[in-house]
Structures are given as structure tokens and as C-alpha cells.
């Protein structure tokens, strides 16, 4: 059982510190995730609060066949979808936009899984040594070429090649420790 599940179980048993731990551990990630739905930071914060409000008021049962984080983010996704539906009802949309919204709704599950993977990668990056973290960040999040990243980090092409190889290996190892499953794109 992961820490989130333990904290939630303690909260259900009456320990308010369990809820405090959940909010502390998951609020930032939820805001980032919900920002992808809303495109608006204050709204994402409100939806994060609504997610925890649902936990407090409804106290849904946690199914241990999933990771707690996956379960919590599913609740947040549902909160976001409810919000977007309500917004759609209050503002009439042209047919093309409504049809695109329906297609987007079908892809929400895939989007959720991709966001979950991105969050796992970011958390694993935090555990890497700074030079590995900086290298991978520049290459994959800032989309710099290895030569450009080498200029930023003041590394020769050969040093960059070795650094990238070691950083990718360290990230892969860290992700595997956490049970991360990924597709091979080769």
C-alpha cells in the first residue's frame, strides 16, 4: 500500500493529519494536471480544492487494485470534466467546437494516462543528480539539441554524449524502481 493510500485510510478512520498529508503531497501535481484541462491557473486551483472536497464529503472507497495517485487523479479528471460540461452548457458553442469537444472527451483517458506518465517522469527526475536532471530537462522539456545543451552546461560534445547516456540510464533505473511501464518506440 502506498503512502497516499495509508494517509487516506487514516483520514477515513478519523485522523485529520491523513488528509493534511494528502493535500501536501498531491495538491501541486493536481493543479498542474488540471491546468491541462482548464488552461487557467485559478480555475485549476479551484478544481484541485473541489477534488479534495469530494474526498472529504463523499469519502469514496479506494480500490487497492490501482495506485492511490491514479485513483485520485481519476477523481480530479472527473471534476474537470464536470466543470467543462457545466461551462459548455452556460456558453453556447458552434457545432464544430462542440463536435471537437466530444472527440476530446473520448481521448480524456489517453490524456490522463499521458499526464500520469509525465508526472512520474518529473518525480523521478527530482531524484537524479543535478547534472543528469539538468541535461534531461534541457533535451526533453526545453527541446534543445545536444549541442545546444552542451553549450548551456559548458560540456564538450563527447562529454554531452556520455552525460546523456548516463542520465537516460539513471532515469530509466529510477522509473523501473517505481514500477513505471513504458512503450518501446524503437
Residues 148-175 pLDDT 10s: 878 877 889 999 999 999 999 998 898 8
- How confident is the model at residue 40, as a pLDDT? 86
Prediction pTM value: 0.50
Gap between the Cα atoms of 150 and 73, Å rounded: 36
pLDDT greater than 70 at residue 96: no
Please, are residues 22 and 8 in contact by the beta-carbon 8 Å criterion? yes
Q: What angle do CA 165, 166, 171 make, to 5 degrees?
A: 100
Q: Please report the beta strands in the chain, taking only residues with DSSP state E, as ranges in sequence order.
A: none
Per the model's pLDDT, the better-predicted residue between 112 and 119 turns out to be 119
User: Residue ranges of the domains in the chain?
Assistant: 3-116, 127-186
Are 3-116 and 127-186 equal in CATH topology? no
What is the four-CA torsion angle of 139, 44, 101, 113, rounded to 10 degrees?
Answer: 50
Percent of the chain with pLDDT over 90: 24
pLDDT digits (tens, 9 = 90+) for 3-29: 788 988 998 899 889 999 999 999 988
Per CATH, the number for 3-116 is 1.10.1740.10
Classify residue 15 by its DSSP letter: -
136: nearest Cα among 159, 163, 116, 156: 163
Cell numbers linked to 93:
458553442
127-186 folds as Arc Repressor Mutant, subunit A (1.10.10)
pLDDT greater than 60 at residue 36: yes
pLDDT greater than 70 at residue 181: no
Amino acid at each position: 500500500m502506498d503512502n497516499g493510500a495509508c494517509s487516506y485510510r487514516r483520514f477515513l478512520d478519523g485522523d485529520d493529519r491523513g488528509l493534511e498529508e494528502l493535500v501536501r503531497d498531491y495538491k501541486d501535481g493536481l493543479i498542474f494536471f488540471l491546468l491541462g484541462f482548464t488552461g487557467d491557473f485559478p480555475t485549476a486551483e479551484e478544481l484541485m480544492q473541489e477534488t479534495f472536497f469530494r474526498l472529504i464529503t463523499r469519502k469514496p472507497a479506494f480500490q487497492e487494485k490501482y495506485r492511490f495517485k491514479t485513483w485520485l487523479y481519476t477523481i480530479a479528471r472527473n471534476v474537470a470534466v464536470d466543470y467543462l460540461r457545466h461551462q459548455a452548457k452556460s456558453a453556447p458553442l458552434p457545432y464544430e467546437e462542440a463536435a471537437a469537444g466530444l472527440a476530446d472527451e473520448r481521448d480524456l483517458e489517453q490524456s490522463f494516462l499521458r499526464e500520469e506518465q509525465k508526472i512520474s517522469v518529473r518525480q523521478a527526475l527530482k531524484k537524479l543528480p543535478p547534472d543528469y536532471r539538468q541535461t534531461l530537462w534541457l533535451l526533453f522539456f526545453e527541446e534543445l539539441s545536444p549541442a545546444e545543451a552542451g553549450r548551456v552546461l559548458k560540456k564538450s560534445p563527447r562529454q554531452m554524449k556520455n552525460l546523456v547516456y548516463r542520465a537516460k540510464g539513471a532515469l530509466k533505473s529510477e522509473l523501473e524502481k517505481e514500477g513505471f511501464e513504458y512503450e518501446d518506440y524503437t
